[in-house]
Amino acid sequence: KAGVTQTPRYLIKTRGQQVTLSCSPISGHRSVSWYQQTPGQGLQFLFEYFSETQRNKGNFPGRFSGRQFSNSRSEMNVSTLELGDSALYLCASTPSFTQWFFGPGTRLTVL
Amino acid sequence: GENVEQHPSTLSVQEGDSAVIKCTYSDSASNYFPWYKQELGKGPQLIIDIRSNVGEKKDQRIAVTLNKTAKHFSLHITETQPEDSAVYFCAASMNTGNQFYFGTGTSLTVIP
């Protein structure tokens, strides 16, 4: 079974731009979560989606948003990028709120 | 909110020795505790997890123990091998559907 896939794997943007990251969960998994990983703050929860509904949101500004599609694929968007948004963005999926499986992440660099 | 502390931040062991990583949590409502291994350039990989109704769980060379009273849980790796070298994260959540609160990670190096 294929794992969680994230695209693109690497991204370079400049301050003020916006970016959209994509996540395809493991087949059959209906819930997706997003995390931001930085050396300074570690792994921090962004949001979680189930059946196209955001069920939970972390403590991030409104510039961070996401959505889930009917096929369970998810996207997250960051608008008006700041230097501090440089991070590894991780997506995870679960079949039924048992165990969560992470993708390889998208490495975002903001210049 | 929940606060998870993890120690040590770095750990070096000789191949074949055991490694122990410890985590504490603050919220007694947390009841699910997974451990993840992250290799360079990869996402975290679930290696073992434990729920609050269990005190210990073992999977081959890896074991996790949980002390609910003291609010701490530990990862034990026996007979370490070079391929065990990675960053290990503990996490806590109030149930598997909720967000995880992660520890700060332990960089484990197994010296051949």
Whether B90 contacts B35, CB under 8 Å = yes
Residue B97's pLDDT band (cuts 50, 70, 90): low
> How far is CA A109 from its chain centroid?
15
Residue B96's pLDDT band (cuts 50, 70, 90): low
- pLDDT, position A106: 98
Q: Which residues of A touch B42 (CB under 8 A)?
A: 104-105
Mean pLDDT (whole number) for B37-47: 94
Q: Which residues of A touch B100 (CB under 8 A)?
A: 35, 43, 45, 100
DSSP letter at B99 equals P
Residues 6+ apart with CB under 8 A from A5: A23, A24, A103, A104
- pLDDT, position B98: 72
- pLDDT, position A98: 72
One-letter identity of residue B35: W
CA terminus-to-terminus distance, chain A: 37
User: What value does the mean pLDDT of chain B take?
Assistant: 94
Mean pLDDT (whole number) for B44-64: 94
Mean pLDDT (whole number) for B48-57: 91
Whether A48 contacts A29, CB under 8 Å = no
Residue B94's pLDDT band (cuts 50, 70, 90): confident
Q: How far is B97 from chain A (nearest CA, A)?
A: 5
Mean pLDDT (whole number) for B23-28: 96
Q: How far apart are CA B106 and CA B90, in angstroms?
A: 9
Mean pLDDT (whole number) for B18-32: 95
- Chain A interface includes B23 (CB < 8 A): no
Q: Which residues of B touch A42 (CB under 8 A)?
A: 102-105
Q: What is the pLDDT along chain A (111 residues), one digit of tens a residue?
A: 689 999 999 999 999 999 999 999 999 999 999 999 999 889 999 999 999 999 989 999 999 999 999 999 999 999 999 999 999 999 999 987 778 999 999 999 999
- pLDDT, position A32: 95
